[in-house]
Amino acid sequence: MTPDKSTAKAFPNYTSGRIVADSELLNWPGIFVRRLRFPRQVDRFLVPATPEPLFSCVLSGTAAFRERDAGQDWIERQLTPGDLFVTHSKEPYELTWSSPAGKEIDTIVMHFAVDRFLSVLDQLFPGKREEIEVIDFFGRDEVATPLFHALAGMLEQRVPGSSPRVSAIGALMTAHLLEKYTHAAAAKPDYLGGLPIGKLRKLEAFVGESLNEEVSLDAMASVVELSPFHFSRVFKQTTGMTPLQFVTRERIARAQQLMRETSRSLIEIGMDVGYTSPSHFAQVFRRQVGVTPTEFRREL
């Protein structure tokens, strides 16, 4: 049975993924890095809270993904390579997802040892240890993604913890997390290009409620109280996607959910997520998922 709270050291005992590589076996100091490959279908996987902040990256694969804090509403996403998660949750949270055949999720999960984390925090924000909190984040990060791939390569090469590379990349990743994904960082005008996590959550909710309608750039910009021009720029800096790409991804994620949970026709589902043309829906779906809607439903 999964406990509500655990530690980074014990975390592999409660994951539903297969551990491909583990930095503990290499004695990496200050960080816990695991490469995990997950089954195609994961139902209600409980993630225990840990005192160590968690930073993870999807290396390959795709999935219709849902997460929620215990007792709260599900948040739906479409996972693709390069998507990142940051969390320092004090409570356990639930995950569930489904991948197309041959597109199972391969990911890197990284925890920061508390001593290392606090040491770097004190260097960056002297005297503010009690004020600094990690902000939950989901999106893209063009700096962190290649670092995660470097970590995957180092695990594959079995680089020992005594290597200067391990210490250097651990310090770099810790500093990056603290400089970009904390309340202190959010107070800076250029945090994530200027779009705080609260506004991003608000925008996600708005788009989720409007998928069967036209979701205009002006309407999205209005939700976060920015001009359309400024919104387009900071949104891409925040997520790595244009607003249109984000809306498309959310439409296809909802369509996948409806295919799994209902017996409605593909034409109806396409219209429910904003596509009046079945051929256009099929074209966009295949570009996002890698298979046609018909093939996706057949594989369920």
Please tell me which residue, 145 or 47, carries the higher pLDDT value: 145
pLDDT of residue 185: 53
Q: Is residue 169 part of a domain?
A: yes
Q: What confidence tier does 183 reach under pLDDT thresholds 50, 70, 90?
A: low
Q: What confidence tier does 191 reach under pLDDT thresholds 50, 70, 90?
A: very low
Q: Is residue 77 part of a domain?
A: yes
C-beta separation of 289 from 79 below 8 A: no
Q: Is residue 255 part of a domain?
A: yes
pTM of the model: 0.67
Whether residues 70 and 152 share a domain: the answer is: yes
Whether residues 183 and 134 share a domain: the answer is: yes
Q: Is residue 2 part of a domain?
A: no
Q: Could you read off the pLDDT of 12-48 as tens digits, one per residue? A: 888 888 999 999 999 999 999 999 999 999 887 888 8
The residue-averaged pLDDT of 80-92 equals 88
pLDDT of residue 184: 63
Whether residues 276 and 127 share a domain: the answer is: no
The structure tokens 């409620």 sit at: 209
Q: Is residue 1 part of a domain?
A: no
Whether residues 27 and 124 share a domain: the answer is: yes
Whether residues 49 and 179 share a domain: the answer is: yes
CATH number where 160 lies: 2.60.120.810
Whether residues 79 and 23 share a domain: the answer is: yes
Whether residues 227 and 105 share a domain: the answer is: no
Please tell me which residue, 3 or 33, carries the higher pLDDT value: 33
Please tell me which residue, 212 or 229, carries the higher pLDDT value: 212
C-beta separation of 159 from 165 below 8 A: yes
Containing structural domain, residue 246: 197-299
Q: Is residue 82 part of a domain?
A: yes
Q: What confidence tier does 192 reach under pLDDT thresholds 50, 70, 90?
A: very low
Whether residues 95 and 240 share a domain: the answer is: no
Which of 166, 188, 210 terminates a domain? The answer is 188
Whether residues 178 and 222 share a domain: the answer is: no
Q: What confidence tier does 165 reach under pLDDT thresholds 50, 70, 90?
A: very high
Please tell me which residue, 215 or 226, carries the higher pLDDT value: 215
Please tell me which residue, 70 or 97, carries the higher pLDDT value: 97
CATH number where 263 lies: 1.10.10.60
* Beta-carbon contacts of residue 139 (< 8 Å; ≥ 6 apart): 83, 84, 192, 200, 238, 239, 240
Whether residues 233 and 176 share a domain: the answer is: no
Whether residues 243 and 142 share a domain: the answer is: no
Lowest-confidence segment of 2-16, 50-64, 111-125, 229-243 by average pLDDT: 229-243
Q: Is residue 108 part of a domain?
A: yes
Please tell me which residue, 274 or 47, carries the higher pLDDT value: 274
Which of 188, 209, 233 terminates a domain? The answer is 188
Q: Could you read off the pLDDT of 253-269 as tens digits, one per residue? A: 999 999 999 999 999 99
Which of 188, 212, 238 terminates a domain? The answer is 188
Number of domains in the chain: 2
Q: Average pLDDT over the chain, rounded to whole?
A: 88
Q: Is residue 209 part of a domain?
A: yes
Alpha-carbon distance 47 to 113, whole Å? 18
Please tell me which residue, 226 or 294, carries the higher pLDDT value: 294
Alpha-carbon distance 152 to 148, whole Å? 6
Whether residues 225 and 250 share a domain: the answer is: yes
Q: Between 243-261 and 278-289, two packed helices, what is the crossing angle to 10 degrees?
A: 100
